[in-house]
Amino acid sequence: MQETRQKGREVKNLIGGRWEEGNGRATEPVYDPATGEVVAETPLSTAEDLNRAVEKADEAFPRWAATPVVERARVLFRFKMLLEEHSEELRDLVTLENGKDFKDAAGEVRRGIEVVEFACGMPTLMMGETVRDVARGVDNASYRYPLGVVAAITPFNFPCMVPLWTLPVAIGAGNAYILKPSERTPLSAVRLGELLQEAGLPDGVFNIVNGAREAVDAILEHPGIKAVSFVGSKPVAEHVYKGGTAHGKRVQALAGAKNSMIVLPDVVLDKAVDNIIASAYGNAGERCLAGSVLVAVGEIADPLVAALKEKAVAMKVGPGKEEGSELTPVIRDSHREKVRQYVDVGEEEGAEVVLDGREPPLEEGFFMGPTILDHVTGEMRVGREEIFGPVLSVVRVDSLDEAIEFNNGSPFGNACSIFTENGAAVRHWRENVEAGMLGVNVGVAAPMAFFPFNGIKDSFFGDLHATGKDGVRFFTENKVEITRWFSEPGPSSAVKRPVEDGG
């Protein structure tokens, strides 16, 4: 593998407003998945680095929390304008470090900006509640307060959007924030940090501590961190949830997925096929909302698999920055190997390999071809484990109830889609399916920024989800006040009675 270092992509920590060099720390290479070249090195921060970040965040917190919410929101408005101005540059960074195509990368940046727009409404979102006269002359009210220093640990597959799921809300609510980006995709986060500085965010309110396991464990153990937001795979989510809560922290941990797409016989076939292809193979299948299992109900299975195969075969495999690329590389060579092994396992378990993408279609980079496994069952590993690559498993069932039963047999509960024009069937499915995000004729059921990103079962550990009002609740706590006054209003505040003129 060629390992030429690209200049000008320094991955530094941001601590208390200062960009810090790696100072000889061990590093992890960052690859361009489309070429296999090393484009940067991520410093693997130590617990000592994390401690300094917490110290600086803790120093910055009281002033930031005391800054009026309208002023905090103004920083977010400026940040939003800068994100718009630099959106193409951010898109290019996402494509460089993650490999996804320009359209997906631009979509990711847009979705991130939408969370900033949501958080610009923080004066409204921070509103408490009041009830006057709960007893004679007694009022009850609640006020929202930031928590203090909070942290987020993010995955490789959305290096710009996932940090933006929480950082605008957390800092808009008055917290000081530490980001630990994926060591595989740290570049977008650096740019976000620079733009936040340009937007006028005070030093220490936003910090970046790059690294991997050691930095994560230091976050979980640090008594100064009040809340941790995690997004990543299920085993690490569980580790973060257990470790964080055992140390008295509030934790939300968004985890892995195995999403079903159920197709009924009355489907509008060509439209569904386009959606299914985009869901299964977009971003090389590396989305937590990727449709990974197609559950075909009844006689639709044969025409559906034939149409999918025809489309998939015709997909243009290529680098994300090249116009027309439809299937982009996976994140690492080691990950490609893991995905290939899943196809081997599926074949051994009795699945039919209708389309085989194991042979790399391009010499450079970490590409795979699109793969379709047919006649998969819930007992097979390829039918129930997250593969996170361009592999679509097809399960054949006789009824909608069987399809729902298949879906509900999964330990995961992130998303489920249904393709049909039958409203009653959709209602039946919605009432019985176990998944937190539902798509009706929509293959990637991503909620907008003002709704929670809503996985259930093993796809989520915690109580309050990221984004939407859940996010505001996660990053704030309430004081509930009950008030009464013993004295009558004095003469200085005596209330004038309106002149009795009949008006």
Which residues lie near ligand NAD (CB under 6 A)? Answer: 153-158, 180, 182-183, 212-213, 216, 231-233, 236, 239, 254-257, 288, 386, 388, 414, 453, 455, 459
45: exposed, middle or buried (Cβ count in 10 Å: 0-12, 13-18, 19+)? buried
Total count of residues recorded for the chain: 503
How is 183-213 classified by DSSP, letter by letter?
TTS-HHHHHHHHHHHHTTPPTTSEEE---SH
Around Cβ 290, how many Cβ atoms within 10 Å?
A: 30
Distance of CA 299 to the CA centre of its chain: 36
Which is the catalytic residue, given 120, 160, 288, 416? Answer: 288
Q: Which of 222, 226, 77, 99 is nearest to 159 (CA)?
A: 99
* CA proximity to 196, closest of 59, 54, 82: 82
At 177, list the tokens: 């924030």
R_g (Cα) of the chain, nearest Å: 25
CA distances from 268 to 263, 289, 420, 437, 439 (A): 10, 22, 7, 22, 15
Question: What residues pair up with 37 in beta bridges, in sequence order?
Answer: 32
Tokens of 281: 């193979």
Q: Taking each helix axis from N to C terminus, what angle separates 187-198 and 161-172, rounded to the nearest 10 degrees?
A: 30
* 149 contacts 57 by C-beta, under 8 angstroms: yes
**Token pair belonging to 412:** 């995961």
Q: Residues 295, 297, 302, 305: what is their CA dihedral angle, to the nearest 10 degrees?
A: -20
Residues 377, 383: Cα–Cα separation, whole Å:
6
- Cβ-in-10-Å burial (0-12, 13-18, 19+) of 251 comes to buried
User: Under a CB-based contact definition with an 8 Å cutoff, are residues 169 and 107 in contact?
Assistant: no
What six digits make up the tokens of 285?
A: 């299948």
Q: Is 120 an active-site residue?
A: no
Helix, strand, coil: what percent of the chain each, to 5?
40, 20, 40
Phi then psi for residue 266, to 5 deg, are -85, 10
Active site residues: 288
